Amino acid sequence: MTMLYHYCSMASLLKIIESASIHCSNVSLANDPNEIILAKRDVFPDFFQKLAGIPYHGIDNTHEFFVLSLSRKPDALSQWRGYGDMGKGVMLELDLDVLKACNYASSQCDSNVHILNDSVFGTPVFEAVDVIYNEQVFKARLEEALKHHDDGKLLKSIKEMDVTDINFIKFVNRLNGLSACYKSAFYKEEDEVRCVIFSDTSEAGYRPNKLRGERWGEVIEQQVLFLESQGKLSPRFPLRLKFKNLMALHGVMLGPANPNSVDMLQAVLQKNGFADTKIDKSVGYFRAPN
C-alpha cells in the first residue's frame, strides 16, 4: 500500500467524485514554465555531445505529456497554499497500487505486470515516477537508461539518427519519460511523485489509452478530454478511481480553512459511491484570504 496525496479545490473534488476519475493534465499548462524543457535545454545537449559527439536534435513536445501530480507529504501547509485553494480545499489520499490496478492496459507486457493482493493485472497505462530535483542524480538516470538499451548498435543509431532501429526509438522514448520527471531544485519541497502518460500525436489527434474493460477481453478506448482552464483549452487523460471491487480513493481531508463539515462531505461521498472513503480534518488552521 503506497499512499500519495493530491491537493485540490472543492470544485475539483466534486468533479472527481462525480466522474469517479482524476485527470492527468497536459504538462504544457503546468505552473512550472520549464517543464520538460529544463532537461532538454540544460542536460540533454551535454549528454549527447559526450556520448556521441553530436548536437542534440530534440524538439519541444511538452504537449504530448500528461501528468497527475501527487505529493508524499500529507497535510502540508505549502501544499494547501499552493494547490488546495489556500486551505479551503481538500487533500485526496490515493493508494498508488490500487490506482495502477484500476488503470491497466488491454494488453500486457510480460516484463511489466502489476500484482495487487495476489491478483495479476496488466501493464498500467501510466508510469509512476519520483521527481528528480538534482542534476547529477538525473544524469545518473540517463546513464542507467543508456546501459539498459545498449545493444552494441545503439551508439551508431544515435549518430545516424536511425529511426528504423526499434531499440533506438525505445531509448528516445525512455529519455522522453525521464525528461518529465526532472524539475528545478526550487520545487524540491513539494516531494512530488508523478503519474505520467506519454501520448504522441498524429493527424487524428492524441492516441487513446486502451484500458481493460469489466469483461475479460473487453477493450475500452479512453479518449483525451478537452476542458477550459483560465481561457485555455486543457487536454487531459482521466484515470479511473474505481474498477470492479477496487477503490483507489482511500481518504479525503478537509483543509485548514475549509468551512464544510465532515457530515456534509460524508453525504456527498456516499451519494457518489464512495461511502467507504474515510474523512479527516487538517490538524492546522489559518485564515485564508477572501
Cell of 211: 484500458
Does residue 289 lie in a domain region?
A: no
> What is the distance between the terminal CA atoms of the chain, rounded to a whole angstrom?
38
Q: By residue range, what is the domain housing residue 211?
A: 3-281
| 3-class secondary-structure state, position 84 | coil
pLDDT digits (tens, 9 = 90+) for 199-241: 766 555 677 777 777 665 567 777 788 888 778 888 889 999 9
Residue 30 inside a domain? The answer is yes
As given in the structure block, the three cell numbers for residue 151 are 545493444
Q: Is the pLDDT at 111 greater than 50, yes or no?
A: no
- For 257, residues 6+ apart whose C-beta sits below 8 A from its C-beta are 80, 86, 87, 88, 285, 286, 287, 288
pLDDT of 216 = 59
Please check whether residue 286 lies inside any domain of the structure.
Answer: no
Backbone angles phi, psi at 187, to 5 degrees: -100, 10
Q: Please state the rounded mean pLDDT for residues 123-127.
A: 83
User: Does 61 map to a domain?
Assistant: yes
Tell me how many degrees the CA angle 41-44-50 measures, rounded to the nearest 5: 130
Q: Is residue 217 part of a domain?
A: yes
pLDDT at 109: 47
Residue 288 lies in a domain: no
* 287: in domain: no
Name the band, by pLDDT with cuts 50, 70 and 90, for residue 112: very low
- Alpha helices, DSSP H, located in 20-165: 37-42, 44-52, 77-83, 96-102, 135-149, 154-160
Overall domain count for the chain: 1
pLDDT at position 287: 73
> Per residue in 190-224, is it b (16+ CB within 10 Å) or e — as a string?
bbbbbbbbebeeeeeebeebebbeeeeeeeeebeb
Q: Between residues 265 and 123, which one has the greater pLDDT?
A: 265
Asked if residue 87 belongs to a domain, the reply is: yes
